[in-house]
Amino acid sequence: MPPVDRNRIAALVRELLEAIGEQPERPGLRETPTRVADAYAEFFAGLDADPAEPLARTISVSEGPAPDTLPSGAVLLRDVAFRSICEHHLLPFEGRAHLAYLPTGKVVGLGALARVLDVLAARPQVQERLGEQVAETIADALDARGSLVVLSARHQCVTARGERRPHASTVTVAARGELADPAARAELLALIAGAPA
């Protein structure tokens, strides 16, 4: 997929400003088309990126000082801030993600999990699909026994337009493998909620 076409976006934003009755050449708006094009290039940078790429460098946990040691518990990264653009109104949504997986014989650096989320969030999205895509990417790329993604976000299409519910948030849960069983993921959900282990 080609990169975002900034010149075309700028021309369309200029046209949009005219369509709402504005003067694109007035001092306050003169640079707006370029600024919006730059913002959109950032917002949608994930369209031509491979979300599994950050997971390519793995660390073996079964080799080293204790070669017979295999992971038995989950790896959980909590409270990862994210933002995306809702594909229905092209308005932002942002929140916190909790990313977990049950490793087999390999793990990744924790930052790699957040980068998977960043790549997939940098596309026109819906929260439900975003969580499913992150869970699928982690499970597949790491050959994990299970993965779990919990997203909590506020959507400007709910908070700033329509019914205007400024305090409303949406929580979604996506799970793969062993963590698709609600009983198996109960401990992780308790950890996400802040309960002691």
Contact 29, 17 (CB under 8 A): yes
Residue 90: its H or E element: none
Region for 76 from its dihedrals, namely left if φ exceeds 0, alpha if ψ lies in -120 to 50, beta otherwise? beta
**Which of 189, 171, 166 lies closest to 127, judged by CA?**
171
- DSSP H/E element including 153: strand 146-155
Other Cβ atoms less than 10 A from the Cβ of 91: the count is 15
Tell me whether residue 86 is annotated as binding. yes
Flag whether 155 is marked binding. no
- Binding residue per annotation — 157? yes
Nearest to residue 54, comparing CAs of 102, 136, 111, 125?
111
The binding site comprises 86, 89, 157
The binding site for Zn(2+) comprises 86, 89, 157
